[in-house]
Structure 1
Amino acid sequence: MGDVLDSMLDLMRRLPPTRIEENLDSLLNICPEYADDLLGSVDQPLKLLTDKASGREYLACDYNRDGDSYRSPWSNEYDPPLEDGTVPSSKLRRLEIAANDAFDTYREMYYEGGVSSVFLWDQDDGGFAGVVLFKKIINPDQNPSGEEEEKAENSTGSWQSIHVFEASERGRSAHYKLTSTIMLEMVTKTGEAGDVNLSGSLTRQNEVDATLSDQSSHIANTGRMIEDMEIKMRNLLQEVYFGKTRDIVFDLRSIEGMERAKQQKALQRELVGLIKR
């Protein structure tokens, strides 16, 4: 069983991330007995829903899903309605409300738009776990101006962050385990270069011990962890995806004209001839 699941997960890592849902459906049709393990191990694109009570948008994923319903972080209600849906304890719910407000400020500072959601749940050992979600979509409808408008008309994409953590209190300190996944998609369409699709995902883990003064310390501690992790992963994505892609493009396609290249080669041959005399 382990070998089959590992093979499917390895295959999912190699297939285009823009078609995660389609590829998952294909694998589940072949091996339906692995549905729970596969769905629990593969991060899927975040869905954007609207809370009917407040009118505010929130993100839906496997961590706030119960059956076919999703719980809103704003009203704590499921959509479609679910009478016996899983909800956090009253103490944890208060922390969840405060965390949503805090990370909404973080989202505005770092992303300047997009949507964020935080969901917490109780664990059997007395601790708790949670997920912090961010999603920003880049599209031409953002009404840019001037030269930026022309570029935006041909560029679309999205940034999605999924930060899952576990918190275990140990007296006046807590131990945190964080697993972060970032899914990036950028599609550019230009007449000169054609269609360019740059997509991928990256997952990293970290563990930290931090002090506790009260329950709100959990928000500050996880916030620092997520901030540090996003900065590191953003730099890594820039180096791996954009840096390597630029190197490959420059190796395959010269940015200088053919006439200019011929002139440089002729000059090199002339210099070599002068040196040999």
Structure 2
Amino acid sequence: MWEDDNEGFVASFLIKKDGSKTRQGRRGYLEEGAWDAIHVIEVGPEEEENTNYRLTSTVMLTLTTNNESSGTFSLSGSIRRQMSMKLSVVDGHLCNMGRMIEEMESKLRNSLDQVIVSKE
């Protein structure tokens, strides 16, 4: 976390999820896989009981499957999205940022499923 020039602050959150070689996936056997997410949230100065939040998220996805019928398949891609919200600070900044990140991860997961994984 660091202060910005507008009396607010910026926070970054990194999320890494590793795939497993032993779990059977929806469309084959997952040999390797990773979900790497970088979330940067700019929090504006408080105005009365509200604050502006701007989230920029990037997700990088890599998958390798291996199945007798379809062979080996490797896939990688990334996606970046932004969202802005004006939220009450009654619950606190950390709760607001957490909810925004959860919502964004869900949207990114759905986007990647539609754009990249559906081509598999």
TM-score over 0.5 (shorter chain): yes
What does residue 38 of structure 2 align with? 162
> Counterparts of 1:231 and 1:155 in 2: how far apart (Å)?
23
CA shift at 1:197, angstroms?
0.7
Report whether the alignment pairs 1:178 with 2:55.
Answer: yes
Aligned residues: 116
Query: Which of 93, 96, 100 is the equivalent residue of 1:221?
Result: 96
> Counterparts of 2:14 and 2:52 in 1: how far apart (Å)?
21
What does residue 208 of structure 1 align with? 85
**Where does structure 1 differ by over 4 angstroms across 4 or more consecutive aligned residues?**
none
Q: 5+ residue gaps in structure 1?
A: 1-119, 247-277
Q: Residue type of the partner of 2:49?
A: R
Normalized per residue, which structure has more helix? Answer: 1
Q: 1:184-195, aligned counterparts within 5 Å?
A: 184-195=61-72
CA deviation string 1:142-179 (max 9, x = no partner): x66xxx4xx75x61110111111100122321101110
CA shift at 1:226, angstroms?
1.2
Q: Residue type of the partner of 2:107?
A: K
**TM-score, with normalisation over the residues of structure 2?**
0.85
Aligned to 1:135, what secondary structure does the other structure show?
A: strand
What does residue 9 of structure 2 align with? 128
Aligned to 2:115, what secondary structure does the other structure show?
A: helix
Q: CA RMSD in A?
A: 1.9
What does residue 78 of structure 1 align with? none
CA shift at 1:193, angstroms?
2.3
Larger radius of gyration between Structure 1 and Structure 2: 1
Q: 1:1-277, aligned counterparts within 5 Å?
A: 120-140=1-21, 148=24, 155-168=31-44, 169-213=46-90, 217-243=92-118, 245-246=119-120
> Counterparts of 1:235 and 1:162 in 2: how far apart (Å)?
17
**TM-score, with normalisation over the residues of structure 1?**
0.39
